[in-house]
Structure 1
Amino acid sequence: MDLNSKLLELKNICINNNIPIIRDNTLDLILNWIKNNDIYSILEIGTAYGYSSLAFSMNEKINFIETIEKNFNNYKIAIDFISPLKIEKLNLLNIDAFEYETNKKFDLIFIDGPKSNQIKLFNKYLHFLSDNGVIFIDNLYLNKIRNIPEESKTNSQKNIIKKVDEFVNYLKSQKSWKFELIDIDDGVGIVKKYE
């Protein structure tokens, strides 16, 4: 079975259903990081339809991926699409990110989940990171919302921007890890613990 064609099929399903997916440059950035570092396991927060986790699973270096999705309908579509592919190293879970628990440590954590409480989410997931691991955080620019004229933004949109800005400032202010905001796509944060 050609996984590349299945990945493209899933990408088109996401696009046709207006399901946000990881952008190409962000995916390339993460895949290059995997290639050049000791990355063998991934935890993803925010499965959606499973596009990014399927893309990560195609990397031969990766031996385990756990991906979590709160929305049951998204999870069901992801399971229905990915299960027939029989990718044993890919584990999909239908659970709220704030309720997830594990004894595992992951080399890479990809956060593309809820934007409203990211500081709490980040601090929870930091405990699941291996000593030399890295956290990627997608969509820190929120350009789609920021580009709406100020008078047209809803209170909810203004609040999300405020929360994400607070999160970025929090990441910049901490001394126990290195934070870098990469200017690609919709802004990608990279967090590494200081050795």
Structure 2
Amino acid sequence: MRVVTISATYGTAGSVIGPAVAERLGVPFVDRAIPSAVAEELGCSIEEALVHDDRAEHGLGRLLSGAMRLPTVTFGGVDMYLPGAMPLPPEEFVTRTERMIKETARASGGVFLGRAGALVLAEHPGALHVRLDAPARRRILQTAALSEVSERAARKLVEDNDRARSAYVRHFYRADPADPRLYQLVVDSTTIPVQACVELIVIAAEAVN
């Protein structure tokens, strides 16, 4: 069973490339199913799970990335402010997410987008870890074109999402998601066409022992 993790900066088409790779490899694309499964296991609402998810629009990464600007947010054992009451600490959601990823990888394989997959599945035999990245300028232009928004709006989307996703990995794993040592394959999907990126990842996944 093939296992591929994809870490994608905003504007690199991770949500397009991921499902296409999964289809080619004949394994599940695992993204939105994770917070749903975690919510069911914990007996909380999907909205509560999404607050802690690094891929969600208003996920925990956004709070972490803005921590230095929010005087009510501190770390090191001190309670954090979150909009609304949280029944469980963020670490509990992250732990359950990790377990869900590992169990799914063992049971069915899959293509896992985000959520520090390269770190969570670092020891999984035969897993391929991929990073989709490109200079911010190209990602901004691609976001503006695909989302039909202004360049200024695209810049904010890219910067906010990059900061949030990086904060999630740095806070919970003490790692830099841009570190190339975490991956076997780093691809610039703003200059290499999406279909070619899919082909590269599939070939690499099938070659990994």
TM-score (ref. length: structure 2):
0.34
More strand as a share of residues: 1
Structure with greater contact order relative to length (CA < 8 Å, sep ≥ 6): 2
More helix as a share of residues: 2
TM-score (ref. length: structure 1):
0.36
